[in-house]
Amino acid sequence: MSHDIVLEGNVFIQDSFHQCCIGIDDGRITAVKKILKGDVHHRFSKKVLMPAGCDIHVHFRDPGLTQKETFQTGSTAAVYGGISCIFDMPNTLPQTTSISILKDKINTASRSMLCDYGLYAGITDHNFKDVIEIARMAQGFKIFLGSTTNSLLLSPLKLPLVFEMLAQTKRPVLCHAEDAKCLKRTQRMEKDLKDHHRSRPPLCETTAIKDLLRARADHDVPLHICHVSSKDSLDLLKDRPTKITYGITPHHSLLNIDSLPLSDTRYKVNPPLRPKEHMHALFEALSKDQADVLESDHAPHLLKEKNEEFNTAPSGVPGVETMIPLFIYLAIKEKISFSRLIDLTCVNPAKLTGIRKGSLKVGFDGDIAVYDLRHISTVCAEMLHSKAEWTPFEGYNAVFPTNVFIRGSSVIEDGECIRRPGFGNQVRTREDND
């Protein structure tokens, strides 16, 4: 039998690379074998084939903040970074908190996206009663317990009720864990990154995480703690129950305030970058099988917006395009294993969101990124595709994909995007299929 498409190369299966073929029909992987025949046969003999990544935490700013990013520019950046699927956050304008706003967002996304996508709806003090209805159109929910860029707040007192309702939807809920009351006590005038760290200390993160764990205890809701930033939180989450997951960003695990220019507003992000011992602990949680997900928290702001006074400059850094390429370089250098990297960026994000992606196995989407591990490049803002036009990782070594396939179709070919906006589909999840 001949498959629609066959990709051949060093394929990552189980724990290592094997020279073999992947057969894809109607967008799905139908065979993984030493030799396969295809109507179209792509040979990547010296390159490696890995599942394309899934970034469960991006802010593509569409609608309302499209000077910073759009679905089109954000998803272009994603595919150039080896990512075939993103999940977009609800702190846009208007905020994604109702069915009608979601419908509009889906409309724009369906015309603009280059990769597949899911959308989160925000849960606030005002819409939490509509959660079950909203779950029909959103792939998951987001809760902000403390304010950050254009955020939507939920009072921790509402958490038990919200988890009760979420239990009926089976959708995952992702949380920005910084406690608003705690932040009120600690927040101060900020002149630099150290002030920002003291203004939003690890204590406010652990306070929020404790509230979340307590409120979720009686409900079987998949709960994901976003962008964990401190070793205190890692300790709290060490013996977490199943279905509670947490993510770490590239910036929290690779950057720290002991070795950055302190007054540089570009590195202002929530939760803040911390002293180096936190960074080391976070990287170790990623590399040593503790953390569940590597998420970019791609939060683009223009340089002219960042160049305000420190105290009023917006928080957030871009990162969707550099996340996997930076970590592939670290895997080549044996700072993290390829197997861990694939769990963190492919397998676990797909499990958490319930999508059939992230593994090179029969039945999964033919989402594949191809890398030439001999070709190490240096990150520079000019080569990236976000509207932010800057990166906190300028000058870092990275390996970008030469080719990316989504559902078996070539999207990046020899380093160039060859698809039109609108190629990306909204994902169907386990719950939709049930």
Partner whose footprint covers residue 269, from Zn ion, ligand NCD, none (CB < 5 to 8 Å by kind): ligand NCD
Residue 306, interface with ligand NCD (CB under 6 A)?
no
- How many residues contact ligand NCD, by CB under 6 A? 11
List C-alpha distances in Å: 281 to 232, 240, 348, 375. 10, 17, 20, 29
Tell me whether residue 44 or residue 390 sits nearer to ligand NCD (CB atom). 390
Q: Is 394 exposed, middle or buried (0-12, 13-18, 19+ CB in 10 A)?
A: middle
We find the least distance from the C-beta atom of residue 319 to Zn ion, in angstroms, to be: 10
Please, what is the minimum distance in Å from the beta carbon of residue 366 to ligand NCD?
Answer: 31
**What per-residue string of b and e applies to 104-120 under the rule 16 or more CB within 10 Å gives b?**
ebeebbeebbbbbbbbb
If residue 324 lies in a helix (H) or strand (E), which one and from where to where? helix 323-332
Give CA–CA dist 360/103, Å, rounded: 32
- Taking CB under 5 A as the rule, does residue 205 contact Zn ion? no
Greatest CA separation for the chain = 68
- Residue numbers 86-125 binding ligand NCD by CB under 6 A: 91
**All residues at 6 or more sequence positions from 341 whose CB lies less than 8 Å from its CB, including other chains:** 294, 324, 327, 328, 330, 331
Q: How far apart, in whole angstroms, are the C-alpha atoms of residue 66 and residue 51?
A: 30
Which helix (H) or strand (E) segment holds residue 16: the answer is strand 16-25
The DSSP string of 80-129 is HTTEEEEEE-S-SSS-S-SHHHHHHHHHHHHHH-SSEEEEEEE--TTTGG
Q: Which of residues 161-200 bind ligand NCD (CB under 6 A)?
A: 176
Among all chains, which residue has been given the structure tokens 């720290």?
256
- Catalytic residue chosen out of the listed positions 297, 343, 365, 367: 297
Measured from the CB atom, the residue of 178 and 365 that comes closer to ligand NCD is 178
CB of 407 to ligand NCD, least distance (A): 29
Q: Residues 56-85 vs ligand NCD: string with x where CB under 6 A?
A: ---x--------------------------
Among 69, 232, 297, 321, binds ligand NCD (CB under 6 A): 297
Asked if 252 is part of the footprint of Zn ion (rule: CB under 5 A), the reply reads no
x-or-dash string of contact with Zn ion, 165-194, rule CB under 5 A: -----------x------------------
Work out whether 148 is an interface residue with ligand NCD (CB under 6 A).
yes
The yes-or-no answer on residue 434 being catalytic is no
Please count the other Cβ atoms lying within 10 Å of the Cβ belonging to residue 160.
Answer: 15
Distance CA 129, CA 162 (A): 8
Q: How far is the CB of 131 from ligand NCD (least distance, A)?
A: 20
Which of the choices ligand NCD, Zn ion, none does residue 149 contact, using the CB cut-off of 5 to 8 A by kind?
ligand NCD
**Nearest residue to 182 (alpha-carbon basis) of 196, 197, 202, 158:** 202
Q: What is the closest distance, in whole angstroms, from the C-beta atom of residue 73 to Zn ion in the complex? A: 17
Among 20, 123, 269, 294, which residue sits at the site for ligand NCD (rule: CB under 6 A)?
269
Q: What is the contact surface with ligand NCD in residues (CB under 6 A)? A: 59, 91, 148-149, 176, 269-270, 297, 299, 315-316
Residues near Zn ion (CB under 5 A): 176, 297
Catalytic residues: 297
